[in-house]
Amino acid sequence: MIRQAGPSVWKAHSPLPGFSLSLGFTLAYLSLFVLIPLAALAIRPWENGLDSVITAVVSPRAQAALRLSFIAAAVAAVVNAVMGGLLAWVLTRYDFPGKRLADAVIDLPFALPTAVAGIALTALYAQNGPIGGLLAPLGIKIAYTPIGVVVAMIFVGLPFVVRSIQPVLQDLDQEVEAAAETLGASPFQTAIRITLPALLPALLSGVGLAFARGVGEYGSVIFIAGNMPLRSEIAPLLIVTQLEQFNYAGAATIGLAMLCLSFLILLSFNGLQTALARRGA
């Protein structure tokens, strides 16, 4: 990360040599692999004029799909923040048999092809599946509803949160927690006032990543969502639908809308994180 050193950002005041070379490399690399493809996306929607862009984004179906994608991703990210935080805590602070194995399992959602994950989750949560079958008599349906979308997003987002927090938890000085305890803090107070603030920047970055992954997730969600327009149709599916009609501009329009929203959200996450890091430092 580049530490901004006052107003003279462009002058190499860093004691390390090679600043201009590395900055040049960074910008070239970012352009080649991120900015140029995104710019290609950004120029595509305007083929049929501004009107058709606006219509495509404000249509009830697009609105419903965007809402589902972003809200489901947010819910999944919050669940992952809590449960992922807990998992990371257990994995760093306790010793138990099979711990290494449990630790390795956390990464599996990264490695699994998303379609496989989607099919497996659907098989589990469908009304004739082992979990879905238990919930069906209670009137709870998960597969083919927006809840199914959240479940798939929790699955793919979990490793981001756990892996972001784990190293920080490991490096956290446990003596500080012990000191808080000797000064009369309850375990709850210690967790909230000592541990959590130290973890917060890492937690936020993990949650941001999990959220972003959820918003863009297609492969696993598509199998479990049910894909009913206005109800369980995610925004990436709408993009695929447009492509099936050879409507490249329409597809790019929704893509661009998602990109802008995600960028704004990630930017505010980053801002929050920087502010927290400053305050902590």
Interacting residue with other proteins among 37, 187, 229, 280 (CB under 8 A): 229
Interacting residue with other proteins among 51, 95, 171, 244 (CB under 8 A): 244
Looking at 5-13, 23-31, 241-249, 268-276, which segment touches other proteins (CB under 8 A)?
A: 241-249
Q: Quick one: tokens of 263?
A: 């960028």
Residue 223 within binding range of other proteins, rule CB under 8 A: yes
Residue 117 within binding range of other proteins, rule CB under 8 A: no
Is 88:166 a contact under the CB 8 Å cutoff?
A: yes
Number of residues that bind other proteins (CB under 8 A): 29
Residue 231 within binding range of other proteins, rule CB under 8 A: yes
Taking each helix axis from N to C terminus, what angle separates 248-280 and 49-58, rounded to the nearest 10 degrees? 70
Amino acid identity, position 19: F
Interacting residue with other proteins among 208, 214, 250, 255 (CB under 8 A): 250
Q: Quick one: tokens of 220?
A: 């696993």
Is 161:84 a contact under the CB 8 Å cutoff?
A: yes
Residue 11 within binding range of other proteins, rule CB under 8 A: no
Residue 247 within binding range of other proteins, rule CB under 8 A: yes
Amino acid identity, position 208: G
Residue 61 within binding range of other proteins, rule CB under 8 A: yes
Residue 183, φ and ψ in degrees, nearest 5: -85, 5
Amino acid identity, position 98: G
We find the least distance from the C-beta atom of residue 87 to other proteins, in angstroms, to be: 30
Residue 48 within binding range of other proteins, rule CB under 8 A: no
For 22-81, give the DSSP string.
Answer: HHHHHHHHHIIIIIHHHHHHHHSGGGGHHHHHHHHHHSHHHHHHHHHHHHHHHHHHHHHH
Residues in touch with other proteins (CB under 8 A)? 60-61, 64, 119, 122-123, 126-129, 143-144, 222-223, 226-231, 237, 240-241, 243-247, 250
